[in-house]
Structure 1
Amino acid sequence: MAAGISRFEGKAAVVTGGSRGIGAAVARRLAAEGAAVAIGYRGNQEAAEKLVAELRAEGARAVAVRSDVADPEQTKDLIERAVAEFGRLDVLASCAGIEHFDALENITPADFDRIFTVNTRGQLFAVQHAAAHLSEGGRIVLTSSVSASRAVFGHTLYASSKAAIESMVLNLSAELGARGITINAIAPGGTATDMAAEHAASYQHPELKGTVPMPQWEATHGALRRLGRPEEIAAGYAFLASDDAAYMTGRTLQVDGGYF
């Protein structure tokens, strides 16, 4: 980030899934540019509170709120707590999500419900509850994935849940645009997070698993020949949440290092 940039001075943001990975990087980026930040987390209280302490030590206003996006009432509470704490809401960055890999014959209704409840329904109701507090100039940034437009073995549920987000922002852009609110999505590519480390090998073709070292595979599947860093993905969220993107809505921005 360029020194002296304060695009969010005096503004308040909610970041779901903000205790780790991309979400934590987004919280840091928004706070570094002046935003007061409410960090929603599901289970990792220690990481969330550590991040809040870090942000406060750097002069930011920050609070952590336990909130499972699978429960819309908890998301509503997160947003209302943020408004009560900061007196306003200007940005929603929806970063919470879960992965899934399995073959078609193994997918169960419970799998479907679990993935879509968090990745799709959770983001929809985050938008609904945030929109109740956003005014003209409000910004909503959801999370899709490059998987929404790539074919990967065993990735049907996850990819479909993210593809729905791209349709969601497109269709909600008209409704929210009438109120001067923009809504877009980021589609991250492979990013160096703990979730990526856990699931990275599953992205390989089944016939390649165990035969190609992951660093070599990653280097041959992107123009920049590496995984992204969380802070590089967070830069995309900050752009879409800022006035620099005031004329961009209903779109999905791929931040993927030229993934192919």
Structure 2
Amino acid sequence: HRGNKSLNWDLTPSRDILIIGASNIARLPRVRVARIQVDSFPGANLSQAATLIRRKMPTSPMVQQVVLAFGLNDREQGNPTLLESNFLKLWRAAKDTFPNATIHVPIINISAEAPPRHKENIRGLNHIIFRTGQSIPKLRRSAFATVEDKVHWSPATAQAMLAVGGPDLPSLEDRAVVNLSSTFRPSHSVLELLRKGFSFVPVPKTFRLERGGLQEDLATYHRRLRLVAFFGQEQRDVGPRFQEPSIWEPGDTE
């Protein structure tokens, strides 16, 4: 938290997925995924994070996804215009430094016991983050807790944060793929997916078919929501999307 941040901080991205943020990021349990790099910059606000990315990181076209977990240290910033300006500087710096990456920004959780003006400022910042279209949902209130300072995550909250993700970054934990066609007693939802041509479905690492159909249904439902969001409104029992090739040929024009 102390010292000349702009002078002392620098970072060289070296993996496909980069997660950077303020001091709470250092509280995450160890991420055991080789393609994910996690770095914490204690005390960093939006403006300092923008400077770090713009001036102290090399342009990194190999990075595929970036999570920017900054903003809580701007809770005392009561000027909405300045708050938005600082966030946009961070957003643009990330876009320029990681030209081929999808940028994700978590919606910020704040303690229910925080001062009202802090909560109001963070609420405004969350609206700005949401408008990017690349926000990661915040942790549900019942799962969020801080230590005595009302700022830093509790160990349980830090663990829960690993399960929060966005459309292209479902979670910070490792993922697995289940072969639905090998399911001995497929549920109705599994059969429906197989009928539509989906055999291999990504699921959480903790997913176990032997735990019963409930988890299958939940994983399928979450996948269906994402498919609907990507392709549009879901249609049930529709015919094949492709027809037989036409045998029509142009006739004699003479």
Same fold (TM over 0.5): no
* TM-score for both structures, normalised by structure 1: 0.44
* TM-score for both structures, normalised by structure 2: 0.45
Greater helix proportion: 1
The answer to which structure, 1 or 2, has the higher relative contact order (CA under 8 A, 6+ apart) is 1
